[in-house]
């Protein structure tokens, strides 16, 4: 069975400049570097503050990821793709 990455990007306002930058950088990174199947959910914590609280999100943009039993979180705009990729491996 092929494992699949599950990504969730938490932003504070989908139209905020740092949110837009993070979404564009992440989409480019996933498209160019992730060869396994993946899903991506974007959660705007301004629209869904209960989700942010239940998922313990205290900073944005935050990327939460999981593959198999491995999971992690990364905060930032994901502009340094090499650093992000090394974190995901």
Sequence-ordered list of residues with C-beta below 8 angstroms from that of 88, at least 6 positions apart, any chain: 5, 34, 65, 72
Place of tokens 């938490």: 10
The answer regarding whether domain 5-9+20-88 maps to CATH 3.40.30.10 reads yes
**pLDDT at 89 (0 to 100):** 77
Span 19-48, mean pLDDT? 95
The domain spans of the chain are: 5-9+20-88
CB 78 within 8 Å of CB 42: no
**To which H or E segment does residue 54 belong?**
helix 49-54
Q: What is the pLDDT of residue 88?
A: 83
CA–CA separation, 73 and 17 (whole Å): 21
Is the peptide bond prior to 61 cis by the omega test (within 30 degrees of 0)? yes
For 52-75, the pLDDT digits (tens) are: 999 999 999 999 999 989 999 999
């Amino acid at each position: 069975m092929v494992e699949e990455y599950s990504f969730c990007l938490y932003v504070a306002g989908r139209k905020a400049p740092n949110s837009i930058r993070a979404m564009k950088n992440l989409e480019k990174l996933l498209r160019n570097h992730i060869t396994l199947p993946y899903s991506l959910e974007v959660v705007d914590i301004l629209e869904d503050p209960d989700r942010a609280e239940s998922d313990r999100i205290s900073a944005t943009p935050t990327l939460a990821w999981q593959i198999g039993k491995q999971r992690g979180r990364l905060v930032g705009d994901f502009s340094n793709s090499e650093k992000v990729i090394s974190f995901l491996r």
